[in-house]
Chains A and B, each alone.
Chain A
Amino acid sequence: MRYLARRGGLFLVTLWAALTVNFIIPRVMPGNEAAAVLGSFRGVNPAALHALEIQFGVNTHRGLVASYFVYLHNLATGQFGVTAQGVPVMTEISSKLPWTLGLVGVTTVIAFAIGTIVGVASAWWRGGRLDGILPPTLFIVSSVPVFFVGLLLIYVFAVKLGWFPLGSNYSLGATPTPTPSFAWDVLDHAFLPALSLVIVTAGLWVYSMRNNMITTIAEDYVKTARAKGLTDRRIMFDYAARNAILPNLTGFAMQLGYVIGGAIVIEYLFSYPGLGYLFYTASTDHDLPLMQGLFLFYTIAVLVCVLIADLITAVLDPRTREA
């Protein structure tokens, strides 16, 4: 229980930190960026504009502390501000979310599965040919910037070979309908961005998994299993891997922030209209309320995943409940 309380505390502190970062940045940064940006917000309804002015510390007659509490109150009541076009930030985010959730969610699960399996196998056959080649290769590849992988894939498979489209989420003129041909069109467009993300992120989990597995294999209960004459396959998966994967779950959630960064770059590169592309357009348009809303959204997404991973760990690993 103390484990969960500690992790829950971290959840709250980080959430508070993200909120506060959003509040403080416009006030501590040099120049008058926020005032200039909000000054260009024409046609936004006055109440919403006033809320933004409090959030960014522009034209407010309130003190810092009072503004801070109004800001927190606005967030608590679901007012996340409006974009430069006057659209509520949350409406904008939820309209783009499905594309990112599909792309990043699926690729992250695939990459984590690949990383975990390679980690388990290379630790099991430690010193073998597989162990000598795959983990170092994945590790080196994961340090290659994601945009370079994306650029290469676009150049080879879209420009030169013409097998895949250059970008976007579905063909121009296609209407989103639940038909097989439209579904195929969407997959066709998602393939290269997804492949880039898998290539770059699979290596993130290989080493931690391999090291956990090596430690676990040396445990007495694995020796006991061997002595009992269980099959290698049972020892490998039911005894060793099952325990070795626990610490990696938290690692999985902790790396999501990094995956999100990769997704922003890839969505920009492929003009894939998800949250990352929205973030990019917000930054070129200097739409600060939208950027801050997205930053908050990303942080909450990572936090929720970390919390879920912690809950699973607490359920599966009795040691964390005792500690």
Chain B
Amino acid sequence: MATGFSADIEAADATSDAQAQVEPHRFLRAVRGNRKAVAGVVILLVIAFAAAFPGLIAPDDPQATIYPPNLLPSWNHLLGTTQLGQDVFSQLIWSTRLTLWVTLIVSVIATFLSMIVGVTAAYAGGVTDRVLTVVTDVFLILPVLPLLILLASYLPPGVTSLVLVLCITSWAFQARQLRSQGLSVRSRDFLVSARVRGERPMYIILVEIVPTMTSLLAASFLALAVYIVGFAASLQFLGLGNSSELMWGTMLYNAQQAAALEAGNPWWALGPGAAVALLGAGFALLNYAFDEIGNPALRPVRRGKRGRAAA
């Protein structure tokens, strides 16, 4: 107890450089101490491993139609085979890579878009702010999935179209949050001094404002990833993907077209469905834990401790 206390004082007395080094360390400790965070990280690591080394887990060619069709799960075919005689487990593992790529790319781009819109609105103020806020609000109200389907219908089916339409439609909610954060730092001294120094607006936004919101940006990224996983799969499930590209959503579409649930190879549909749910859950757990770490008010209150404090 005593050592921990003095360590805290030392940390407080240390220079700002030293503090910067302590921060990520503390953050990692907080992540390790949070069960939801650990669960999220483990799930994402497993999925990332499958995406990186699919051949190690499933040596079969996922597209080869070399087995008897519609087999039930067995040791040779963990999730059975498709109507065309492809191994479902191999398809599932080999689909991980593209699915994860699309999720990550769209989440990064959409976070970046929301940052640009939100921070620009907050920093510029006036007419620019009002216009950007209205555009954001409009995108928040427009029903997302119908808009996605509509946009996708005009484009050739495939990953590029998928990434494009998801980026266009998914930035608004985070932009609104980043705008409020931007407004809260707008009149701080360091921004006033940057303006007095005569820095250009782009410099101020990127170098002065954005670094103050790293944790919010990370949270935005995680929240977006949860939605992107679901929306990408939904869009492909509805037949707006390219069914020859190996992704969980296109597997679901193919399974649904072959009525896999009723035809006796249910894992053809349930497998990719579960995979999508698991990837979403991984991001959601991490996002949830992130909120708890960053905002102590949300942390579960421990009954025992409170009792002791009151006594």
A302 touches B141 (CB 8 A): yes
Tell me how many residues of A have a C-beta within 8 Å of chain B: 60
B270 touches A127 (CB 8 A): no
> What are the residues of chain A within 8 A of B231 when measuring CB–CB?
261
- Determine the distance from Cα of A18 to Cα of B138 in the docked complex, in whole angstroms: 9
For B149, the closest partner residue in chain A by CB is: A283
For A263, the closest partner residue in chain B by CB is: B145
A303 touches B141 (CB 8 A): yes
The minimal Cβ–Cβ distance linking B295 to chain A, given in whole angstroms, is: 10
Determine chain B's interface SS by DSSP, over half rule.
helix
A148 touches B137 (CB 8 A): no
- Determine the distance from Cα of A256 to Cα of B142 in the docked complex, in whole angstroms: 10
Question: Does A151 interact with chain B (Cβ within 8 Å)?
Answer: yes
> What are the residues of chain B within 8 A of A44 when measuring CB–CB?
none
Q: Digit string of A142-182 for contact with B (CB within 8 Å is 1, else 0)?
A: 01111110011011000100000010000000000000000
For A132, the closest partner residue in chain B by CB is: B300
B154 touches A33 (CB 8 A): yes
Residue of A131, A147, A258, A264 most packed against chain B (CB within 10 A): A147
> Assuming the A-B contacts A139-B284, A291-B153, A299-B141, are A260 and B146 also in contact, with contact meaning beta carbons closer than 8 angstroms in the complex?
yes
Question: Does A202 interact with chain B (Cβ within 8 Å)?
Answer: no
Question: Does A136 interact with chain B (Cβ within 8 Å)?
Answer: yes
B155 touches A145 (CB 8 A): no
> What are the residues of chain B within 8 A of A283 when measuring CB–CB?
149, 153, 238-240
> What are the residues of chain A within 8 A of B274 when measuring CB–CB?
148
B155 touches A30 (CB 8 A): yes
Question: Does B66 interact with chain A (Cβ within 8 Å)?
Answer: no
- Determine the distance from Cα of A191 to Cα of B191 in the docked complex, in whole angstroms: 57
B277 touches A295 (CB 8 A): no
Q: Digit string of A295-323 for contact with B (CB within 8 Å is 1, else 0)?
A: 10011001100100000000000000000
Question: Does B303 interact with chain A (Cβ within 8 Å)?
Answer: yes
A291 touches B266 (CB 8 A): no
What are 5 A-B residue pairs whose CB atoms fall within 8 Å in the complex? A29-B154, A254-B141, A260-B145, A265-B238, A306-B141
- Chain B residues close to A by CB (< 8 Å): 36, 134, 137-138, 140-147, 149-151, 153-156, 226, 229-231, 233-234, 237-240, 252, 256, 261-262, 266, 269-270, 273-274, 276-277, 280-281, 283-285, 288, 297, 300-303, 306
